[in-house]
Amino acid sequence: MAINPEYHTLKNGIRLVHMSTLSPVAHLGVFINTGTRDEPEGKNGLAHFIEHMIFKGTKKRKAYHILNRLESVGGELNAFTTKEYTCIYTSFLNTWYSRAAELLSDIVFNSVFPAREMGKEKDIIIEEINSYLDTPSEQIYDDFEEALFKGYAMGRSILGTPENVKGFRQKDVLDFFNNCYGTDRMVICSVGGVSFPRFGKYIEKYFNGESRNTDLPHRLPAGKYVPFKHEEERRTYQSHSIIGSRAYARDHEHRFSFGLLNNILGGPGLNSRLNMMVREKYGYAYSIDSFYYPYSDTGIWGVYLGTHNGTSEKAIKLVMKELKKLRESKLGSLQLSQAKKQYRGQIAIAFDSNINVMLSGGRSCMHDYRLLRVEDIYKRIEKIRPFDLLEVANEIFDPDHLSSLTYKSTWNS
């Protein structure tokens, strides 16, 4: 388990956070506060394309040498893109801290995005998009979010569209990367078995020499929310539905209250209300859960369910019934106490993984400038009262504000 975080800011604006552990395995990530919602108009998918291309060559390394640098000593190198940030990270034995820091620095500062690699990577991403479109239980999340933020950058798919991906040029990639992946938007987060001074020495050596300010316009707001109800027919065995709405942003005072409420409703526990009612009692759905994703200035919440065509409407009615209960009935003190214990336990298990601590820490420091420790989260959870849950339930679960998207199965129609 990681101990208390320590912080430092480099002269070029990169913020560092490190947590020392006794583990022989370390995790190091570079987080850049640039994502899908920052892409230029008509260039949807560019941030994700850069995430792929960033491993294809630097000024001194070809793709093979990048991939082999840590893999050859048992390490792992990876990256991902979200709506609001990009992360490049690696896991390795503590022995290789210097090697890992140097490699990440080379990737972040010296990538050349070779034109000869672009065509091949476009094909790979288009196959990734096609694979996604073949999986309605995944595609529906993107379609729901697009409708939730219709007409705004926040609703764009992270993968982009095949048409956009085909049209990307090397100049598009270089312009966006050089303008929007500046040191003033970077956080480096580390969890591993070295001291903070030693960690700082490695990062100073490889990251302090480059300074690149971001020329990124102020993010446009998420736009006005207009509830919707969409249904489309799909030739699938199952019907897929999402019922939800916009929700609280990362810094909202009700964020943790709603996180607890969402966990009671349809969190990962098999004893969630939706799982017990829709799956266990009636057997209407194999998959049912609720999700909550807070962003910097907004959030999304929803309930996903995959059902047989004949039980879809019945299952949705049960979901609406559970939402009504949470709007109208205040939790008793024992119920609330048990819900808090479960939520704390789930959080503790998640933070027992050092790679999760590193990823959560980097994400947190981009927005809050300080890592939110498990102890801090516990304190906020303990302050939640039954009335707080009733208040957020009536705001977020208001039936007049709910939206729905359904892929209706026509297989047996």
Residues in the chain: 413
Task: For residue 341, give the H/E element and its range.
Answer: helix 333-350
Mean pLDDT of the chain: 94
Note the pLDDT of residue 359: 96
Matching fold, domains 6-207 and 229-409: yes
- Whether 222 contacts 397, CB under 8 Å: no
- Percent of the chain clearing pLDDT 90 (strictly above): 89
Note the pLDDT of residue 368: 78
pTM for the full predicted model: 0.94
Beta bridge partners of 61: none
Residue 1 confidence (pLDDT) above 90: no
| 300: its two tokens | 């999304």
Count CB-CB contacts under 10 A for residue 359. Answer: 19
Mean pLDDT of 39-46: 94
Summarised one tens digit per residue, pLDDT across range 212-264 is 887 766 788 888 999 999 999 998 889 999 999 999 999 999 999 999 999 99
Summarised one tens digit per residue, pLDDT across range 47-95 is 999 999 999 999 999 999 999 999 999 999 999 999 999 999 999 999 9
* Domain regions of the chain by residue span: 6-207, 229-409
Mean pLDDT of 405-412: 87
- Whether 73 contacts 62, CB under 8 Å: no
CATH 3.90.1200.10 fits 229-409, yes or no: no
6-207 adopts what CATH topology?
Cytochrome Bc1 Complex; Chain A, domain 1 (3.30.830)
Measured torsion, CA atoms of residues 223, 224, 225, 229, in degrees rounded to the nearest 10: -100
* Contact residues for 279 (Cβ-Cβ < 8 A; gap 6+): 285, 286, 288
Measured torsion, CA atoms of residues 165, 77, 195, 96, in degrees rounded to the nearest 10: -140
Q: How far apart are CA 267 and CA 30, in angstroms?
A: 30
Mean pLDDT of 284-301: 95
DSSP-derived secondary structure for 222-266: -------EEEEEE-SSEEEEEEEEEE--TT-TTHHHHHHHHHHHH
Residue 2 confidence (pLDDT) above 60: no
Q: Which class for 349: exposed (0-12), middle (13-18), buried (19 or more C-beta within 10 A)?
A: exposed
Summarised one tens digit per residue, pLDDT across range 298-340 is 999 999 999 986 899 999 999 999 999 999 999 999 999 999 9
Mean pLDDT of 279-283: 94
Q: Is the dihedral of CA 245, 249, 254, 255 positive or negative?
A: positive
Confidence of residue 412 (pLDDT cuts 50, 70, 90): low
Mean pLDDT of 133-145: 95
Note the pLDDT of residue 217: 66
- Percent of the chain clearing pLDDT 70 (strictly above): 98
